Structure formats: structure tokens, C-alpha cells
Amino acid sequence: MNLVFELPQKIRDEIELTGGESIYYAVPIDIGAGGNWSTDSFCVVTTDKLYTFIDGEKISHEINELTKATAEAGVGGGMLVVKKGGEDVLVAHYSSAHMSRYAYIARGINILISGRYEKVESPEYEKMCPHCGRVIPGTKTCPHCSGNGGFFKILGKTIRPYKKDLAWISFLMVMVAVTTLLNPEVQKRLINDVLEKNGSLRTALVFLILMFTLSVAIVLINIGKSIATAKLGSKLSADLRRDLFEKCQRLPLSFINERRPGELLNRITDDTRFVAEFTSDVFCNLFAVFFIFIWDVFYMLVLDWKLALLTFTVVPPVTFFMLYLRKTISRVFRVQNKKNDDVASDLQDVISGMRIVKSYGKEEQEAERFKVLSGQFADIQKRNERFWGMFDFVLSFCMGLGVVIVVYFGGSEVIAEKMSYGELYQFIAYTLLLFQYVGWLGRLPRELSKLKSSLERIYDVLSQEAPEEDPGKVRDINIKGEITFDHATFGYKSYQPVIEDINAVIKPGEMIGIVGASGAGKSTLINLLMRLYETDDGSILVDGVDMKDISRKSYHSQLGVVLQETFLFSGTIIDNIRFSKPDASVDEIIHAAKLANAHTFISKLPDGYNTYVGEKGHTLSGGERQRIAIARAILTDPKILILDEATASLDTESEFMIQKALDRLTSNKTTFAIAHRLSTLKNADRIMVIDDHKIAEIGTHAELLAKKGIYYSLCAAQNLS
């Protein structure tokens, strides 16, 4: 994301840089003084000063007079606020378009305030292309502006491994073209040589057999071509899908989280499917159509150039009209689909909320609402069907019109004996071919740009650099379990730190209870410990070694995790437990299950450890799933154990039993346990209270009670309830 925009000369003239001062950031302010859109306002940060130029008015602040800068979020916009002399001062008002940009600017100003001169850079992508104003579909560069060379290069790279298939398909395409064009020629001969001139039955038969062979050949070649392209398409998309999936697994979680939910899924499924569809529907005809088209035009000119030119003037307007009709039709059907979605989602709402609807006695009301929606849908459908009914006739009428013109003028030529019957017939056949392929060619640009953005999106992921571990830098360690947080700071979004400046030293084998309100940053802290993300500032050390310097494999093999939302893969219970340690013996698995208090219920299931769970499998209760997850976590005998509300969905008795088991387990492991029910933390050596993204209190149960702070009131609240 650009943080240094090109400034207009007028503004540049007004900034007087003193020796050593330089412009660090320059970003637009898109809301002017009166709250109106503004195009010529800017916020400029130099190493010494903060300037704003709003609708021609210049304001400046010395950086060393400021104590803090914040990018505050409003609704549909935000503002940059600085603290000057203990008072908040509004610096700039901007729309959502610049929200994250200003978060970086605020961070940059704060760095300058602290006396450092590091420049902040934003890894985020621009949403709109600064050159063409189009939306960038989540890629680094604008697919439209990246130039055709880029697209063809990508296309070339994509299809290079399939040269053999391509050669075979190209050959078949040429054959299709040849046979298609030859057919009218033979038909002309039949008319001219046999029918008109009373030719012999034998010659007639020869022509008929030739026509028959050609027809069969067309069918056979087309079938061959379809099979070949379908094969190529599915091979191509399968390979792309595999590459994408592998890449996604290796990319950091932040890359996945930066994208909208489902967007990556779409890239893997929809975009690759489109590539396959394009290959089998469009690509397979591409050469054939071009080939036929060119020869078609050529033959028509040879047959009768005057009539051909006349026909060519009719074809474009008719084709244009046909394309327009098609566009309209896809438009109206899109409206219909949207209404259809509305009806479906409303229906789903009511059906899944049936208990609420019934218990409040609102059946009639809901039925009425649904009736209105359904009625609207029906109206649109009726209208569209009427339109659709006419569409085909209008289309063939248009094509017919073109043919009528050819027949009229061609007929006059035949009567004037300038043209033979057969030639006229051939000419009409070519005209029909022309209509067919001009329409097809008219749709081509659209398909090509769709392919282009699909490929761009696919290659955007594939070209991402996954952070590879440098084997020379990282090392394997045998974790003892000392964890040090050293000014650890992290946020998922640039403009919102979720944990700030965490400092603590956790002794090996210590159990730390983490408490705090929802959204305070507890789970985020855990995510950092799991190495799903890396700290933005500061570091986390394990046994005195920076976490980033420990190989992932070694670290994760010594980590056990039980999360709030237990995720079980589709598969059997034993597969799920074994996930953490694929070479675990059955004895180990049963032992882990017993420790997790899961063995009893598993053995009662008809299929025992072979019970199939997951999306389509046996439905387990929340507590049962949780226990399987606990078994999975303790199977590896981890040195660091992370329990994020691990026992929250259990009933009191199982919780008690698991707690007992966990107590024994956690004795020699560094354990981090998040819990809302404080009773589960009574064995914790120390309690860490996270409040407002920071450690508010840390100490033993008794210490914190004596402090009468947040923990004290939390305990009090739970004892009372």
C-alpha cells in the first residue's frame, strides 16, 4: 500500500525542508474542511513536522510537540488525531478508503515521536488501481494494467507442460475446420453437376457418399476434440488446484486471514474450474473458429465479392444486436437469481429459527412476509420467461433477415445467370457459418478477460513467497519450557494492535492461567505461542532462544493444543487422535484417551475407536469432541501445553475428572490455560490478567486477591453466582 503519494507542485513548494529533514509519508486527505469530498488535500509527514494541506489551507505541527498519534475509526471514515499539550487535536478526516493507510501513518508518527527514524511500510495491497481506477481483485498488481505481455506469459507458463496435448488438439481443430468448410463445396457440386445438369446416378452417389463421409468425419473429429480438450482442461485445473493447495498450506496464516473468508476457497475451486471450462468450451474452438472464419470470408469473396461485401455490411449490426440481446438477458436473469437467493435465505432463516418463531407464536406473520417475497420472485420470473420465450425467435429472425438479403441479391444474380444455383447454396451456407462464428467471436473478449482475472488470481497466490526456513539459521531444541515475552506486540489488522507490549517470564513447568474479558487479547496471545503469527514488535523467547530461530518442526512437535472450538477431521476417532503423532502405538493412543477421560465413552460407541466422525460422520457432543481433542494434545507428551477454554463445554463432572487428569499431566509442562470459569485455574501457579490488550496483573492467586484489582472482582463475581 502506497504511503508516499506524488504531491502536486504547489504543495511541494510550501514544504520547506531544513537540513537533514526529509518527507517520510504523503497521503491524500479525501474529506475537506466542510465535510465534502476533496481531491487536492494532503497529509505530509516529514522527519520533523506534520503538515496538512486541506483545501488550500496549510497547518503544521512540530513532531517533538506531539506525544501520540492515533488513527481513530468512525463509521464510513476515520480521523487522524494527535495529542499535543495534553489535548487531542484533529488533524485529518478521511473516508474508509484511506483507513488502513492512516493506521500506518499513525504508527510512523509514533515512531518518529519516540525519537527513532525507521520508516513504516505497508504490506497490504491497494484495493483500487491508481492508474485505471478499476478494482484490483485481491492481487498485487492490477490485472488490467499489468499488460497483455504478463497475461500471455502466465498463459504460456500454464500450458507449457501440456505441449503434446496442445499439438494433438490443434491438429484436430484444423481438421474440424477443413471438414466444415468442405461440406458446402461438395453440396454445391451436387447441385451444379448432378441436379442442374441431369448428371448420372453414379456421380450423384459419389457425391452423396462423400457428403456422408464428411458428416461422419465431422462428428468423429469433434468427439475426439471434445475428449482431448476435456482431458486437458481437467488435467490443467487439477494441477493448478494441487499447486494452489500446497502453496496455501505453506503460506503464513496472516496471508490467509488478510483475504475475505471463502476467497481463497474460491481461488482453489472456482478459478481453477473456470480454467478447465475455458479450455474445454472456448479454447477447443479457438483455432477452429479463427480458421473457419478466415476461410469462410475468403471463399465468400471468391464466389462473389460484391455479394460478399454486401453481406459483410449486414453481419456486424445484426451481430451487435444479438450480443446486446444476450447481455440484456443475462442482466434480467441475474436479477431473478438475486431474488431467488433472497427467497431461499429467508426460507432458511425461518426454518432454522423455527423454535423461536413457534415459541413466540409468529407463524402467520412469517408466512405473510414469505408470501410477499415469493410473490415478487414470481413476478420477475413471469416477466423473464416471457422475455426468454421471445428471445430465440428474435435471434433466428435476425439471422433469417441476413439470409433473406443474400437470397434476394444472390437470387437476382442467379436469374441473370451470373451465378449458379450451387454457388448460391454454398454462399448461403457460408453466410450462416459467418453469423454463427461472428457471434461466438463477439463473446470471446469477455471470456478472455474472465480467464485473465482467474489466472491472475491463481498466480497471485502461486507467486507469493512462502517464508522458507533457512536451515542454517533455525535449529532444533529440546524445550525445557521457559518462555519469555519481551515487549511482544501484535495485531491482525494494521490499525488495531490486539496485544501490546507484553512482558513476562514464565518458568519451566509453570502453569499460567490467563483470564480477561472477551476480546482483550487472550486467544491472540495463545496464537503467538502456537506460532501461527509472528510478533510485529518485540519477541517471544523459548529457553532464551528467539522463537523465530527454532525450527517449526521441532517446536510444534513439542507443543500440545486444545482449542475452544474443537476441530475434528473427517475420519475415525483413532485417526483424529493420531493426527498429532502419526507413529503412535495403539497402547499410547488408549493411554492418552484414558487420560483425557475419553476412553469410556469411545468404548461404548458401537464402532469403538473406528467410529467415523467429522462433517458427515457420527455426531459427537461438544464435550466428547473436546475430550478427543485433549487426547490428541497429550498424545505427544508435549513440553508446552496450551488449553484455550479446553474444558468449557464439558459438564461439571467430566470437567472435574479431566481437571484431575490434566493436573497430573501439567505437572512438568509449561501450561497456558485460558478459562472463564476461574475454578478451573485454582491449580495455576500464576494468573495473568489481560485487560485492554496488556498484562494488567500477574501473580499467584493469593497475591492477586490481596491486590484487590481486576482478578479480585472477577473471583468475587463468580463466587457469588
- Residues forming contacts to another protein in the complex (CB under 8 A) are 31, 35-37, 74-77, 79, 81, 84, 87-90, 93, 95-97, 99, 127-128, 133-135, 137, 260, 331, 334-335, 338, 449-450, 453, 712-713, 716-717, 719-720
Q: Which is nearer to another protein, 455 or 542 (CB)?
A: 455
Q: What sign for the dihedral angle of Cα 616, 618, 622, 624?
A: negative
Beta carbon of residue 309, minimum distance to another protein (angstroms, whole number): 35
Q: How far is CA 310 from CA 290, 315, 409, 587, in A?
A: 21, 9, 9, 87
Quote the CA–CA distance of 141 and 452 in Å, as a whole number: 13
Contact 157, 32 (CB under 8 A): no
Q: Which is nearer to another protein, 17 or 90 (CB)?
A: 90
Contact 710, 691 (CB under 8 A): yes
Beta carbon of residue 497, minimum distance to another protein (angstroms, whole number): 16
Contact 485, 540 (CB under 8 A): yes
Residues 6+ apart with CB under 8 A from 549: 473, 474, 475
Nearest alpha carbon to residue 274 among 463, 449, 460, 462: 449
Q: Which is nearer to another protein, 37 or 393 (CB)?
A: 37
Beta carbon of residue 456, minimum distance to another protein (angstroms, whole number): 11
Angle at 545 between CA 540 and CA 547, to 5 degrees: 45
Beta carbon of residue 107, minimum distance to another protein (angstroms, whole number): 19
Q: Which is nearer to another protein, 338 or 480 (CB)?
A: 338
Q: Which is nearer to another protein, 292 or 451 (CB)?
A: 451
Q: Which is nearer to another protein, 188 or 452 (CB)?
A: 452
542 DSSP β-pair partners: 483, 545
Beta carbon of residue 445, minimum distance to another protein (angstroms, whole number): 11
**DSSP codes of every residue in 488-539:** EEE-SBTTB-SEEEEEEEE-TT-EEEEE--TTSSHHHHHHHHTTSS--SEEE
Torsion of CA 235, 238, 244, 247, to 10 degrees: -90
Q: Which is nearer to another protein, 338 or 443 (CB)?
A: 338
CA atoms within 13 A on the CB side of 317: 7
Quote the CA–CA distance of 693 and 518 in Å, as a whole number: 11
Beta carbon of residue 716, minimum distance to another protein (angstroms, whole number): 3
Q: Which is nearer to another protein, 451 or 561 (CB)?
A: 451
Q: Which is nearer to another protein, 101 or 189 (CB)?
A: 101
Beta carbon of residue 698, minimum distance to another protein (angstroms, whole number): 21
Contact 559, 642 (CB under 8 A): yes
Residues 6+ apart with CB under 8 A from 85: 65
Beta carbon of residue 98, minimum distance to another protein (angstroms, whole number): 8
Beta carbon of residue 273, minimum distance to another protein (angstroms, whole number): 15
Residue 385 grid coordinates: 420467461
Beta carbon of residue 35, minimum distance to another protein (angstroms, whole number): 5
Quote the CA–CA distance of 653 and 190 in Å, as a whole number: 93
